[in-house]
Structure 1
Amino acid sequence: MADDDLEQAGPIDFVIVEFPAGQSNFSGEMADELVKLVDAGTIRLIDAIVLAKDENGDVEAMELSDLDDLGPLAALEAELAEFLAEEDVANLAAAMDPGSVAGVLVYENLWAAPFAAAARRAGGQLIADGRIHTQAIVAALEAEAQAELEEEGA
C-alpha cells in the first residue's frame, strides 16, 4: 500500500476459526459468505491461510494457493498480499489446540475506512480496540436464563 492508500485505509483485523481434530467440515458456506463480504465492499481480504497443528504441536501453514479446489475463493486468492510472516504464523498457531485445523483471515474493514480517515484528519488516533466474541455473549445469556430459572424455582 502506498502512503496515500494508508491514509485512507480502514482498520485491519484478523480472525482465527479453529476446528477441533476430526471436525473440519468445510461445506463451502464460509467461503461463500467471505466472497459476499468482499463483493459487497464490506471488507478487503489481505491474507488468508490454513494452519494445521499436529498432536506434537508442529504447525504447517498453507497459503490458499497451496490448496486444491478453491471454489469461490479462487477469485480472491489472486488479490492476496501474503501479509503474514513466519513469526506471525507461530504467534497465531499458539492459540490452537494440538490436532486442530484453523483458517486465518486478515482483512481491512472497508466499511470503517471513511470514519477512520476522518478521525486521522482531525488529529485523532485509535488507542484501543477489542471484540466481544459471540460465544461469550451466548454463554452470558444462557447463564442469566439459568439463574432466572433457579430463582423462580426457589
Structure 2
Amino acid sequence: MPDADVHGPIDFVLIEFTGDRLTGRGAEELMSLVERGIIHVYDVLIVGKDAEGTVYAVDLEESAGRAGDFAHLAGARSGILAEDDLREVASAMQPGTLAALIVYENTWAIPFIAAALESGGQLIAGGRIPAQDVMDVLEAMETLEATS
C-alpha cells in the first residue's frame, strides 16, 4: 500500500463554453473519473464573461441552472484557487462565455509514484502536451497520409 504522503501529479484544465450555461456530459464524465478513483477534484471554479466583458463567478450551489451538472461539484474547494486565479481565468476568456477551471490530482499515478520512490527513483522532469495540440498533429498526419 502506498505511503499516505504520496500524491499524484496535480493538473488543471480551463475549458471555455459558448453562452451563459454549461450543458452536455462534461461534468458527468468528470464525476465518473472521480468515482473510479482515476482523479481527485480539488477545486472547481466557474467563471463567466458577459458580452460587454464583465467578469463574474458562478456560485455552484446557487446556480444549478447555469452550472448544469457541475453543480454536483460545489463542495470541491481545497483553497488552492485564489481571487487572482479568477482574474487570470477571465483574461483568457472570450466575451459571452463561461469557463470551468478544474484542479485535480491524478490519483491513478499514486501506486506508480510510490513504487518509483521506494526503488530510489526521483522525478526530475515532467510536462503535458495539450489535448488540442495532439488532435491537431494527428489530423495533420491523417491529411498528409491521405494525400500521399
Partner-residue secondary structure (3-state), 1:64: coil
Percent of residue pairs bearing the same amino acid type: 38
Q: Which residue, 88, 94, 101 being the options, matches 2:91?
A: 94
Q: Does 1:37 align with 2:49?
A: no
Query: Which of 54, 79, 90 is residue 58 of structure 1 equivalent to?
Result: 54
Alignment-derived partner of residue 26 in structure 1: 23
Determine the C-alpha separation between the residues in 2 that align with 1:101 and 1:147: 35
Q: TM-score, normalised by structure 1?
A: 0.74
What's the RMSD between the two structures over aligned residues?
A: 2.8
CA contact (8 A) 2:63 2:71 kept: no
Structure 2 counterpart of 1:136? 133
CA distance in 2, matches of 1:11, 1:34: 17
> Runs of 5+ in structure 2 lacking a partner?
none
Give the Å deviation of 1:93. 2.4
In structure 2, what is the equivalent of residue 112 of structure 1?
109
Runs of 4+ in 1 over 6 A off after TM superposition: none
* Larger gyration radius, structure 1 or structure 2: 1
Work out the number of aligned pairs and report it: 144
Looking at structure 1, the residues matched to 78 and 55 of structure 2 have their Cα atoms a distance apart, in angstroms, of 21
Deviation, 1:24, is: 4.7
